[in-house]
Chain A
């Protein structure tokens, strides 16, 4: 079945540091890939998405490129801020027929310190 594997957290960075959160997936066909973010005390919200190979999703300074050859969708940001402290979830939607709700990774907690 479809699955998503994220790097274990927590990740602690200083303000303005470079961020990478790794995400790899297993799926048949051509899934759509997502990053969701959960700020403290809130529900998840969509951060960015990519629907086909080599697509780059971007939002709020975050980027992720859909790499089919490595089955990866790593999240990056060049300079993190304290306000980026949150839990980040990689997710996948399968492309095969039938009902295929989103599958989420386990989440990676990011703490950014000033």
Chain B
């Protein structure tokens, strides 16, 4: 039972470098999400994809881009990393879309710890 798989688990970047965080789910879920977790700030939504082919901004999208490559995969790209992007990044998925009136249970990956020097 893989669930939601994120790669890499750890990454150190220099300011200005770019990288892509990968996320894949094997539960045939429609919706996928990227969150960042910072001390004292909790989880904040960066981007989400309610279904294959659609993406929407969340609370803190600046400095990030996303691609919903197919139903399984949702990647997060940092084009020019900044120290303020040092964080733990979580990918999540759900079988219900965010517009569903039915409660939405999220399944999370184990996270990517990113440090930008």
Interface residues on A, range: 20 to 34
Q: Is A99 in contact with chain B by the CB < 8 A criterion?
A: yes
Q: Is A62 in contact with chain B by the CB < 8 A criterion?
A: no
Q: Is B106 in contact with chain A by the CB < 8 A criterion?
A: yes
Knowing A43-B90, A44-B106 touch, does A101 contact B43 (C-beta < 8 A)? Answer: no
CA distance A38 to B90 in the complex (A): 12
Name the residue on A nearest B50 (C-beta).
Answer: A99
How many residues of chain B are within 8 Å of chain A by beta carbon? 28
Cβ-defined contact, A101 with B90, below 8 A: no
Cβ-defined contact, A106 with B98, below 8 A: no
CA distance A98 to B41 in the complex (A): 25
Q: Is B108 in contact with chain A by the CB < 8 A criterion?
A: yes
Residues in B neighbouring A34, C-beta threshold 8 A: 103, 105
Cβ-defined contact, A100 with B108, below 8 A: no
In chain B, positions 98-117 with a C-beta closer than 8 Å to chain A are 98-99, 101, 103-111
Residues in B neighbouring A32, C-beta threshold 8 A: 103-104
CA distance A102 to B111 in the complex (A): 18
Residues of A within 8 A of B (CB): 32, 34, 36, 41-46, 49, 51, 89, 93, 95, 97-102, 104-107
